[in-house]
Amino acid sequence: MSARHPLVAGVRAGDRRALSRAITLVESRRGDDSEQAAALLAELYPATGRALRVGVTGAPGVGKSTLLDALGMQAVAAGGRVGVLSIDPSSQLRGGSLLGDRVRMARLSSSDAAFIRASPSGGASGGLGPRTREALVLLEAAGFDPIFVESVGVGQGELAVTEVCDLVMVVQIGGAGDEVQGMKRGLLEHADLVVFNKADGPQAAATERAARELASLLEWMRPGQSRVELVSALEGRGIDGLYRALLEERARLTESGELRERRRAQRRSWLSQALEELVIARQSRDPELDRARRELERAVEEGELAPPLAARQLLEPDKASSTSGGA
């Protein structure tokens, strides 16, 4: 991997075509692309680590894409080069639906200072795609900052975004009935910012009331750790304040050293994922191990063997032989 990858120069220069090709390469599931992807990441990784990564999540219908269009344009106006990774749940079958994102982010998608990419969830859990981390590296190396990661939008179960991004922004709407209930489901406990969108029209009063209630609850449960912002992405109200809040949170985390710790945790999580994938890939390339895996898989499916024991029997056959048995 000593030869310089042909896409490196283009990505570093911020060339859109090179960046698109690079993301396609790292997202490829073809075995012959994996070495090229590894070579590309090895050369670009040292040029990363300085961009602000913001995870944007929330239930479908809360207006995440419309909010990102307005917020991204605010960042562009402030001199930023905005990257957006939008995780598409339908892309596993159709290869992505960038058209939908362009419709909802019409202004941002037409800006020369922005890059929007729809990526497949690929069946990955937690609201992200299997190669979201790699795509983030490429966007950072291309000079984009800030970078927004828009999760699938399945709601409160999307905790994977906390392992990839520096700040987590949860988008809510008033009157949905889940402002307090959401705390029990976990995601709001990780939120740095909770944004109540659609504070306009008939829902304005309900949205303002819900924002006040949740702000009081969060201040009691997590004092000083979560901010609640009220915006109308449709009308553009509150967007400048939300962008300032992001910058202030970035400065606070940097000054306290917490941003550095979050980045360290992100790298540990990525290492665990990479090791797991490598073990599975190597096992599948070994005919004997692959045959043993399929036999153990059948035993697990039939209820003859507990999954943890099957895993040990595959990876540590000598140790597992004494504990294997019917279940």
Task: Name the segment(s) of the chain with CATH classification 1.10.287.
Answer: 265-320
Q: Residue 161's closest CA among 139, 184, 138, 193?
A: 193
- Pick 46 or 276 by higher pLDDT: 46
Percent of the chain's residues with pLDDT above 70: 83
Q: How far apart are CA 97 and CA 39, in angstroms?
A: 28
- Mean pLDDT (the chain) is 83
The CATH number that domain 49-255 falls under is: 3.40.50.300
Domain with CATH 3.40.50.300 in the chain: 49-255
For tokens 């994938």, what's the residue?
277
Mean pLDDT of 37-44: 93
| pLDDT above 80: residue 125 | no
Q: CATH classification of 265-320, choosing from 1.10.287, 1.10.1510, 1.10.3470, 2.170.130? A: 1.10.287
- In sequence order, the β-bridge partners of residue 229 are 195
Query: Pairing relation of β-strands 82-88 and 147-150?
Result: parallel
User: What is the predicted pLDDT for the residue at 188?
Assistant: 74
The pLDDT score that the predictor gives to residue 210 is 85
Mean pLDDT of 310-320: 74
Structure tokens given for 284: 């599948």
DSSP string, 139-161: HHHTT-BSEEEE-----TT--GG
Cα 172 to Cα 191: distance, rounded to the nearest angstrom = 12
